[in-house]
Amino acid sequence: MTSLDRSALDARRPPEAQRPAGETSNKRRDEPGRSEAPRALLLIKSSEIRRWGPRWLRRAGFEAEIAGDVAEALDRVDTQEPAVVIVEAGLRDPARVWALEGIQRRIHGRGIPIMALCRGDREIQRALDAEVADVVRHPVDWRLLLHRIHVARRRVETRRHLAEAHRRLDRALDVVGQTHDLSYGTPDRDRLTELPGREAFLALADRALAAGGGGTAVLVVAIDRFDAVNEALGREGGDQVLASVGRAMRGVLSNRGWLPASSGGLATAALARLSGVHFGVVTTHAGGAEGASRVAHQLLSELCEPIEGGGQTVHLVGSAGAALHPNDGDTAEQLVRHAEAALVEARRLGGGILRFYCSSLNEGTTRKLAIDRMLRTALRKNQLEVHYQPLVEFHTGRIVGAEALVRWRHPDHGLIQPQEFIPVAEETGLMAEISNHTLDVATRQLREWRDQGFDDLGMAVNLSLCQFRQGDLVRRVRDAIVTNGLRPESLELEISERGVLSGDLEIIEVLRALKELGVRLSLDDFGTGDSSISYLKDFPVDSLKIDKSFVAGALDNNSDSAITSAMADIGRRLSLRIIAEGIETDHQLELLKGMGCHQFQGFLFSPAVASQEFRRLLSVSDPTHELGRTLPFPRRSR
């Protein structure tokens, strides 16, 4: 054994095995005043760590305690205020909730660092997502862990001193006169947040530009998906949250932690509420793009902190757009407009980020605004159509179902592709209305086809994340089934891995409630999202749909072929129905059939068609004959 190997092993052995000659195991424990030692709380299941961890901690000056379960750990956090909490990242409580995240929610903002003990990259990622103080891999090197604990505690103490300094500065600024940067002597002030309004902000920014403020930048910061907050807390609760956001953002600018070292004390920042959930910031002498980025990231980080409103704690996410003078505009109006265009792009990319303006954004933003306006008109005038793509059995060649897909045929601009208007609908909050409309139309159409004798036909309808956030999805689905007299199992609801499958406990509960209605659930776009295959144990799905991107590459790409085969095998082992999307060639059909898939859909059989054309496909004995298709499997008349 090398000296390096021996050192690593010693770091995991009990302290007694390394104690210098003559030292007793109770030496540190029996010193006077040890009852005042800081507490270390351990929530772990590893017997080795439970046995030796407290000894290491006591030698480092901590009073170590082991919690039996999450409930006991939470109780001790509340009653004893430990100096550090050590949790195994993979530990779950009996309700199958991740223990690490539950404790983090309870102690968030209280200055108690959490150290996560992790096995493998997945647990490390979960710990980082929970924003723990630090992580250490199994097997635990206690010397490393103790060092990181002391570093984390010093960091907490430093933050506490800085927060107190900021509070003293805020009080001083209040005495002097409500911070010159934020008021600027304008009568135009928003009643809710007590911030300047849009007109005052534009006047202030124009004065900054006229004065020749070096490196002037304009930012527009917005809260993403705030409609969900209003739905949960009501309008009054939402207003309370907005007021808290205004105070929090003002605090970020007042503490001047965003100042670059080179500013020489000349940098200024003004904050305003431009409209709704949009806040504006203008900075001068702050270092141009670098300073704007520093301010934006501090504001976005502040938005992620828990905020009280309507008697509840909410967690927000914000996006930001920035425009710089003189490259992006000569007037405040231009800079604000361009910053808003950059904000739209930041939200399109998923939100939670800062995006700087570039000239290419103008055309895209103008197009999006036009689509948003036309789409609202289309909903009001019932211009959206629902088309249906056949779902076909591999071994019989018969149509067993349809997937309902929304289409938009504009009276002047013709067919507008879904990939163009769906993202706009998701950004502007219209997606829930579109999805609800599709559900209603599709279930009525299924009733009509069943009345015509197609009793075994099923209907698949896509769900959007917006519908889950509305809070009435289960009721809507129940009403659609009852109103149209359908058997629940004839309706299949498709959830997208990229949009819904995120491990959110509330979404899982909604899915379970839908299953209790008797409907079927299908996981769409399988393999394209970031979620773990282990979530399949928690989501009560009946079918997996292999995404067309894998199907397209399965013939020519060994990796795609292996992944597709593995996904089909996983689905079969979980007793799920496997559906292949995007079948366009005979070779793809044979390959996916050989992998054990049960059903398919794709242009080889038929694209999505209007209801009259789909009815014709149902009626002919060989639905592929009139389309000129030759499919290599037996036909069966309906």
Amino acid letter at 392?
V
Q: Using a pLDDT cut of 70, give the percent of the chain over it.
A: 79
Task: Provide the pLDDT confidence category of residue 245 given band limits of 50, 70 and 90.
Answer: very high
Backbone φ and ψ for 315, nearest 5 degrees, come out as -120, 120
Given pLDDT bands bounded at 50, 70 and 90, which one contains residue 143? confident
Closest of 68, 336, 131 to residue 218, by C-alpha: 336
DSSP string for residues in 115-171: EEEESHHHHHHHHHHTT-SEEEESSP-HHHHHHHHHHHHHHHHHHHHHHHHHHHHHH
Q: What is the mean pLDDT of the chain?
A: 79
Domain 183-359 has CATH 3.40.1280.10: no
pLDDT of residue 622: 46
**Intervals of CATH 3.20.20.450 along the chain:** 383-619
Q: Which of 363-377, 403-417, 526-540 has the lowest mean pLDDT?
A: 526-540
- DSSP reduced 3-state for 284: strand
What would the mean pLDDT of 26-41 be, rounded to a whole number?
59
pLDDT of residue 310: 74
Please tell me the predicted confidence (pLDDT) of residue 464.
86
pLDDT at residue 8 greater than cutoff 70 = no
pLDDT in tens, 464-491: 877 887 778 999 999 999 999 999 999 9
346 against 35, higher pLDDT? 346
Structure confidence by residue, pLDDT tens digits, 282-303: 988 777 787 788 888 889 888 8
What 3 state SS string does 521-536 have?
EEEEEECCCCCCHHHH
Pick the residue with more confidence: 34 or 355? 355
Q: Is the pLDDT of residue 378 over 50?
A: yes
Q: What is the Cα–Cα distance from 580 to 342, expressed in whole angstroms? A: 38
- Ranking 213-217, 383-387, 534-538 by mean pLDDT, the lowest is 534-538
Domain with CATH 3.30.70.270 in the chain: 183-359
Reported as a single tens digit per residue, the pLDDT across 379-398 is: 888 889 999 999 999 988 88
Of 539 and 397, the structure prediction assigns the larger pLDDT to 397
- Distance CA(101)–CA(557), nearest Å, equals 39
Mean pLDDT (whole number) for 611-619: 90
Listed range (52-61, 103-112, 383-392) with the worst mean pLDDT: 103-112
- In this prediction, residue 34 has a pLDDT band, given cuts at 50, 70 and 90, of very low
Give the pLDDT confidence score for residue 183 in this predicted structure. 37
Instruction: For residue 343, give both structure tokens.
Output: 């904000």
Q: Which of residues 544 and 527 earns the better pLDDT score?
A: 544
Asked if residue 184 has pLDDT above 50, the reply is no
Q: Which fold has domain 3-23+34-156?
A: Rossmann fold (3.40.50)
How far apart (Å, rounded) are the C-alpha atoms in residues 354 and 357? 10
Least confident of 8-22, 224-238, 571-585: 8-22
Q: Can you tell me the mean pLDDT for 238-259? A: 83
Q: Provide CATH 3.40.50.2300 ranges for the chain.
A: 3-23+34-156
399-447 per-position pLDDT tens digit: 999 999 999 988 888 888 888 888 888 877 788 889 999 999 999 999 9
Return the CATH superfamily for domain 383-619. EAL domain (3.20.20.450)
